[in-house]
Amino acid sequence: MSNDIEIPHLDSTTLQNLISYAVSFSAANGLQVQTKSSSTADSNTNSNTYITAPISLLPQSYPSHLFQRGISLSRPLNLLVEKISQDGEFLRETLKDVRTVDEYTGKLLDLYEAIYMKQDGEFARSADRLGILRSDYMLHSTVADGGKDQYELKQVELNTIASSFAGLASTVANLHRFLTQRMDDGGKLNLFLEENHQCVVRDARAENGVGVPESPAMSQLPLAMFLAHERYCQRFVKNDNDATATTRRPVVLFVVQPNETNTVDQRLLEFALWNNHQVPVVRMSLGELYNKAVLDETTGKFMIQSDNGADESSSEEVAVVYFRAGYAPTDYPSGYNAEDGSGIEWLARERLERSRATKCPCLGYHLAGTKKVQQELARPSVVERFFPEDDGDTSARTIRTVFAGLYSLGADATEQDINAVKDVLLNNAQDKYVLKPQREGGGYNYYGKNLADKIRENCTINEQTIELDPSLSEFILMERLFPPQQRAILLRNGQVEGSGMTISELGCFGTILATEDSEIVHNEYGGFLLRTKFSGVDEGGVASGFATLSSPYLC
């Protein structure tokens, strides 16, 4: 689509000016992604082409009090994940049907059991745990109050591995702050924003828009990694007999995908870690790690061979492992053979997990972020299991308020779950639900007719009873959320992709650091992300090409 489009309140000169500023701001501040063809199998390639990240030209109106609500849930949710990760029985019981039909989740659970529930994972059990989580929300329309929709904050999912866009989202917020403050030529932008403000119920305390907040992500995420790194050095390096003046500073290992295009987002973290804390980063894929990493079986020390030599002096100790890969079956291309344990990427993952390095995330955190766990948590008294005492902010009651309807399609399905299935199959209510497998990264969900077909093909309907095929147990059924629609201008590769009505998803980052004794060393809110996509697009995901990066204009 050309840049010649009609936008209410914005004449074409203003629009062109805004686009031109957005693109140059992006170049000047690394609001960029790599092009597909330029990212190669080598995780450290030099010949890269960078383009403007997919962005929404202007921010979306967001009710201030619901934004604050998302922020305030970060710390309780961090704690929840930490607690779940330590409850092997809960994870095993919750995922027992899933593991029989989904090999990937099954493998994660096998490793978790072997390392954390049996005797052969002593180094892993002694390691600290670092979480960089992102809880995603949509505003969901509830009762129409005198004709005007009311919205509440509902959780879409909780990401516990490779939660991305902390870096780029901070920059988008800076861009949007610049555009709305500096470029508000004669109030035209205000008119545009004002129209969007009408779509949401404003915070009574914020009569006029209060603008785009600053995201603390680029200080908070590196800080959490630094604290984990510090603790590792204090616990292990300072005490090692071989710690001499020549010992190199342990590194933070970024485990990355060979063909990653979202590299700038990762590099922003790497550079901030160095700038703020002088902590070095090494990037490697799981495949490379298989060839270049050694686990010392007597100490649990994890060492990687750097590229510039093969002798001991060129190897580096890993203090913290940060996974930006490993969350999808496709990250393990050599597969998994239970018989002989082959599959080099899984072997590399296992070696990392068994080490004494602090994992972000460890297997327990990773599993706590599965969609099946999310669904189980929504059952009566399950969050309460992890927060037995009602202690205000961290209480189960507070967390529960953001849960949407979640239903099991496994052997544990209750009458209520089956009623949701009946609603889809017998009442034609497929548009009120989303069907989700245990996958991450966007693009896997079923909607509408596909959803109904998928369930119908995998169940037997006898008069009033519905029998679900075991193959459905890797899915959960979720109430579909309907956020307010707002006008936006979406850019891809610096060009207008289109303008029209859009919906948005808020992400709130949280960071947590826990010790082997479950002492909480650090637990903080860590910044935000807003993703915006055209209303007609079911799926989300910026990297997967469905959504764009935006920011909330609080009002």
Contact set with ligand ADP (CB under 6 A): 136, 156-157, 404, 434, 436, 439-442, 444-445, 478-481, 505, 539-541
Instruction: Please give the full DSSP string across 389-443, using - where no structure is assigned.
Output: S--GGGSHHHHHTT---EEE-STT--HHHHHHHHHHHHS--GGGEEEEES--SSS
The helices-and-strands tally (H runs, E runs) of the chain is 18, 22
From 11-19, 38-46, 157-165, 393-401, give the range in contact with Mg ion by CB under 5 A: 157-165
- Return the structure tokens found at 392: 């205000």
C-alpha angle with apex 444: 440 to 445, nearest 5 degrees? 110
Contact 188, 195 (CB under 8 A): no
Is 372 annotated as belonging to a binding site? no
Q: Tell me the β-bridge partners of 548.
A: 532
Q: 136 or 474, CB closer to ligand ADP?
A: 136
Residue 497, annotated as binding a ligand: no
Residues 466, 407: Cα–Cα separation, whole Å: 15
Considering the complex, state which of residue 420 and residue 434 has its C-beta at the smaller distance from ligand ADP: 434
Of ligand ADP, Mg ion, none, which one does residue 434 interact with (CB within 5 to 8 Å by kind)? ligand ADP
Whether 400 has a binding-site annotation, put simply, is no
Residue number, 523 or 550, with CB nearest to ligand ADP: 550
Kindly state whether residue 370 participates in binding Mg ion, applying the rule CB under 5 A: no
CA dihedral 358, 79, 384, 323 (to 10 degrees): -50
Q: Does 154 show up as a binding residue in the annotation? A: no
- The answer to the question of whether 405 is labelled as a binding residue is no
Do the Cβ atoms of 149 and 65 come closer than 8 Å? no
Instruction: Please work out the total of residues on this chain that contact Mg ion, with binding judged by CB under 5 A.
Output: 3
Residue 152, annotated as binding a ligand: no
Q: What Rg, from alpha-carbon coordinates, does the chain have? A: 24
Three-state SS letters, 248-261: CCCEEEEECCCCCC
Least CB distance from residue 253 to Mg ion, whole Å? 22
Give me the least distance between CB of 60 and Mg ion, in Å please.
Answer: 17
Q: H/E element holding 232?
A: helix 217-232
Q: Which stretch binds Mg ion (CB under 5 A): 147-155, 156-164, 176-184, 528-536?
A: 156-164
Binding residue per annotation — 505? yes
Q: Shortest distance, CB of residue 478 to ligand ADP, whole angstroms?
A: 4
Q: Which of positions 425-464 make contact with Mg ion (CB under 5 A)?
A: 440
50 annotated ligand binder = no
Shortest separation between residue 154's beta carbon and Mg ion, angstroms: 13
When asked if residue 159 is in the footprint of Mg ion (CB under 5 A), the reply is yes
| C-alpha to C-alpha distance for 393 and 411, rounded to whole angstroms | 34
Tell whether 443 is in a known binding site: yes
Looking at beta carbons, which pairs linking 16-20 to residues 24 or more positions away fall under 8 Å? 17/183, 17/185, 18/57, 18/58, 18/179, 18/183, 19/57, 19/491, 19/494, 19/496
Taking CB under 5 A as the binding criterion, the range among 87-95, 158-166, 345-353, 460-468 that sits at the site for Mg ion is: 158-166
Tokens of residue 529, six digits:
């992300």
CA dist., res. 264 & res. 276, Å (int): 18
Task: List the single partner that 539 binds among Mg ion, ligand ADP, none, CB under 5 to 8 Å by kind.
Answer: ligand ADP
**531 among annotated binding-site residues:** yes
**Is 440 known as a binding-site position?**
yes
CB of 434 to ligand ADP, least distance (A): 4
Return all residues near 183 (Cβ < 8 A) that are at least 6 apart.
Answer: 17, 18, 21, 189
The residue (of 251 and 434) whose beta carbon lies closer to ligand ADP is 434
The residue (of 305 and 504) whose beta carbon lies closer to ligand ADP is 504
Report phi then psi at 407, rounded to 5.
-130, 140
- Work out how close the CB of 51 gets to ligand ADP at its nearest, in angstroms, rounded to a whole number: 22
Q: Taking the complex as a whole, how short is the minimal distance between the CB of residue 136 and ligand ADP, in angstroms?
A: 6
Minimum distance from residue 433 beta carbon to ligand ADP (Å)? 8
292 annotated among ligand-binding-site residues: no
Min dist CB 342 to Mg ion, Å, is 28
Specify the residue, 178 or 444, whose C-beta has the smaller distance to ligand ADP. 444
195 is in an annotated binding site: no
Side chain identity at residue 491, one-letter code: L
When the beta carbons of 445 and 511 are compared against Mg ion, the nearer one is 445
Q: H or E element: which one contains 320?
A: strand 315-323
Task: With CA atoms as reference, report the closest residue to 224 among 516, 518, 522, 514.
Answer: 522
Q: Please report how close the Cβ of residue 332 comes to Mg ion at its closest, in angstroms.
A: 18
Question: Which CB atom, from 376 or from 440, has the smaller least distance to Mg ion?
Answer: 440
Instruction: Using alpha carbons only, give the angle 348, 352, 353 rounded to the nearest 5 degrees.
Output: 115
The smaller minimum CB distance to ligand ADP, of residues 352 and 404, is found at: 404
294's enclosing H/E stretch is: strand 293-295
**Is 43 or 551 the residue whose CB approaches ligand ADP more closely?**
551
CA distance 187 to 63: 21
- Of the candidates 141, 72, 2, the one whose C-alpha atom is nearest the C-alpha of residue 497 is 2
Distances from the Cα of 515 to the Cα of 82, 260, 295, angstroms: 10, 31, 21
Binding partner of residue 30 among Mg ion, ligand ADP, none, CB cut-off 5 to 8 Å per kind = none
Point out the residue whose Cβ comes nearest to ligand ADP.
540
Specify binding-site residues for substrate: 266, 531
Specify binding-site residues for Mg(2+): 440
Specify binding-site residues for ATP: 371, 436-445, 447, 505, 533, 539
User: By the criterion CB under 5 A, which residues form the site for Mg ion?
Assistant: 157, 159, 440
Specify binding-site residues: 266, 371, 436-445, 447, 505, 531, 533, 539
